[in-house]
Structures are given as C-alpha cells and as structure tokens.
C-alpha cells in the first residue's frame, strides 16, 4: 500500500505546442510511478487522437488489452488495432472533433518500475466532448523488458500536444 505520493516533475505545454513530452532521468528511489496527463492535440480529423507511451525510448515489447467505451458501444481490442512500437495511453481530445478548450484526462500507473521483471502499466482515460461520441478506456499493458524505467515519453500519434496540455509525474513509495 502506498504511503507517499511525491511530485517528481511536471510540465505545461507552451504556445508552440509539443510533439511529445519526455520525462528523463527518473530516479529509482520510489516503488511505483503515476503519470497524470491532461491532453488536447492538433489532429483535425476524427474525434480523438491516440496517445503513445514508450519507456526508455524503446520501440518494442509492448502488448496491451483495451476496454473501450465510445459513448454508444463498448468494445474490447488489443495492440493489433493500434500499434506495437508503444503502449496505448488512451484517446486524447483533438483539435476539431471535440468541444473547444476541453482536454482529455489520463492516469498511468506503473508498479515496480525500477525492478528487473517485465513492466506492467495500467491506464484509464476519458475524453471530454459535448457530443454523442466520447471515449472512456481502460488499458492493461505489458512492456516485456527487464530494464528499470528511467524515461517515459508521451506522444500524440502523429500530431502535437496543444498549449496548456499538462503532464505530472509522481513517485509512490510503499514505506
């Protein structure tokens, strides 16, 4: 059970936008990590934009299962519907298909990130959209790699984060 919840670093995207956000040199002194992401992207088609999550700049070893609610139906899928060079961090609000000035919310939980076993990642995310189409996702991910996680990259797939998107990285200790 977590007994501490410590902010390690945070960032707010500036006026020029950002193709991705990378937390680097993550200390190995915590038990678990949590990322809180508030996002909106520059994508102008569709009504959402996938968020790619990579560890240590690795582009392999990612598998995941997704339970996705669209606002009208619920579906279950896996990485074959998205990509295998990163984990899936849920759908983000995008530029024209979601209510103006709203942002999606994402929480990523990474237990035992500094250990030598494969790394699990659980993600929940929701888009904000005053429309019949809005997404809620639960993602169970595995990164098959024994390395300690020292960096985390969050990227809208093919697009940029817009200004005022934010990411917070927290460390959790069990003692």
Partner 1 sequence: MPTKLIVDCSTGITTEVELTAEEIAEREAMAAEYAVQKAQEDAAKAAVEEAKASAQAKLAALGLTADEIAAITGA
Euclidean distance between CA atoms 38 and 128, whole angstroms: 10
Closest to partner 1 by CB, 22 vs 140, is 22
């999606």: which residue's tokens? 104
In whole angstroms, what separates CA 84 from the centre of its chain? 15
Closest to partner 1 by CB, 11 vs 126, is 11
Closest to partner 1 by CB, 1 vs 119, is 119
* Binding pattern for the stretch 44-63 against partner 1, x by CB under 8 A and - elsewhere: -xx-----------------
Euclidean distance between CA atoms 153 and 120, whole angstroms: 16
- Cβ atoms of 110 and 119 within 8 Å: the answer is yes
Of 82, 160, 162, 170, the one binding partner 1 (CB under 8 A) is 160
Q: Does 21 bind partner 1 (CB under 8 A)?
A: yes
Nearest 5 degrees, angle CA 52-CA 57-CA 62?
Answer: 55
Of 32, 78, 107, 157, the one binding partner 1 (CB under 8 A) is 157
**122 sits in which H/E element:** strand 119-126
Q: Does 86 bind partner 1 (CB under 8 A)?
A: no
Residues at the contact surface with partner 1, assessed by CB under 8 A: 8-11, 13-14, 16-27, 43, 45-46, 157-160, 167, 169
């Amino acid at each position: 059970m977590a007994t501490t919840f410590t902010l390690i670093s945070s960032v707010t995207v500036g006026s020029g936008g950002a193709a991705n956000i990378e937390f680097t040199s993550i200390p190995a002194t915590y038990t678990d990590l949590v990322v809180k992401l508030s996002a909106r992207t520059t994508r102008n088609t569709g009504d959402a934009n996938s968020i790619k999550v990579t560890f240590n700049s690795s582009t392999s070893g990612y598998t995941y299962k997704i339970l996705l609610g669209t606002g009208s139906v619920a579906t279950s899928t896996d990485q074959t519907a998205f990509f295998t060079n990163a984990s899936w961090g849920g759908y983000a609000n995008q530029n024209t298909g979601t209510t103006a000035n709203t942002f999606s919310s994402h929480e990523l939980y990474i237990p035992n990130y500094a250990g030598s076993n494969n790394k699990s990642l659980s993600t929940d995310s929701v888009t904000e959209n005053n429309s019949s189409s809005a997404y809620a996702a639960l993602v169970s991910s595995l990164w098959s790699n024994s390395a300690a996680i020292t960096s985390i990259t969050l990227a809208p797939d093919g697009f940029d984060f817009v200004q005022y998107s934010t990411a917070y990285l927290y460390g959790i200790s069990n003692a």
